[in-house]
Structure 1
């Protein structure tokens, strides 16, 4: 409900402030290859050192942080900045297990590409019946 002291523009400004502080979810592309999964994430402006890739049996987790220009040393704050800064994270769960020894990641031109080999799992087991 709007009061006499509150305009719709104030509501939009508050919404913009909330969105600026919210955690980001990067755009992704997942490819299911013959022997490996390939995951590509858009992480523009993120420094390579701030990217963290972790894998468990069937889950791949990626997090990164993009710092603003004001965070850098000896930089004056921008008069206007529409760059998105903050922490980004994303996780993926796969139908087959991941071979963590075959996990590779590369970062170029704002695109993080992760290749995760599929683990060899045996779905059936033969059991001898004793008399």
Structure 2
């Protein structure tokens, strides 16, 4: 079932609360909370000049193997010198910039991101930060982060006395 959306001129759309049986006082508090959130969002500048300065994130996959975490980020057309990989504790950060090229002819449609990009990943376990490797091939940046050697369980034989 869809619910109607209330609209006020110059304001973000609001969604009414479904009846959850909480009573009028709680519904009033939620309405007040939504109003405050809408006012806060209206104060955030979203001018086109500001939106162009925001970083974009390249598509990436994070795999876990027995020995390492492997991140594969798609960065086609970006040179090795324009990419920076940093790791601190368990947070991996890939940053860089795709420079805008001088178009040949008239650009009819542009869907590729340009400018500053950033990818962050919080790795789930302890890692060896000194042994991180990064490789760029065919537009894919592969970062291999070795896991710290945790105490592995081993079998203990029980003897009879």
TM over 0.5: yes
What SS is found at the alignment partner of 2:136?
A: strand
Structure with more of its chain in helix, by fraction: 2
TM-score by length of 2: 0.57
Instruction: Provide the residue aligned with 1:120 in structure 2.
Output: 149
Instruction: Provide the residue aligned with 2:76 in structure 1.
Output: 44
Which of structures 1 and 2 has the bigger CA Rg? 2
What SS is found at the alignment partner of 1:120?
A: coil
Structure 1: give runs of 5+ residues left out of the alignment.
Answer: 3-13, 71-75, 123-131
Per-residue displacement from partner, 1:42-88 (whole Å, max 9, x unpaired)?
Answer: 11211110110001111111001100113xxxxx7863262421011
Q: Does 2:122 correspond to 1:93?
A: yes
The one of the two structures with greater contact order (alpha-carbon pairs below 8 A, sep at least 6) is 1
Instruction: Provide the residue aligned with 1:111 in structure 2.
Output: 140
RMSD: 2.8
Contact preservation (8 Å) 1:23, 1:86: yes
Alpha-carbon distance between aligned partners in 1 of 2:105 and 2:65, rounded to the nearest angstrom: 44
* Count of aligned pairs between the two proteins: 107
Structure 2: give runs of 5+ residues left out of the alignment.
Answer: 1-8, 11-45, 152-161
Q: Which segments of structure 1 move beyond 3 Å, counting only runs of 4 or more?
A: 14-22, 76-79
Structure with more of its chain in strand, by fraction: 1
Alpha-carbon distance between aligned partners in 2 of 1:16 and 1:66, rounded to the nearest angstrom: 19
TM-score by length of 1: 0.69
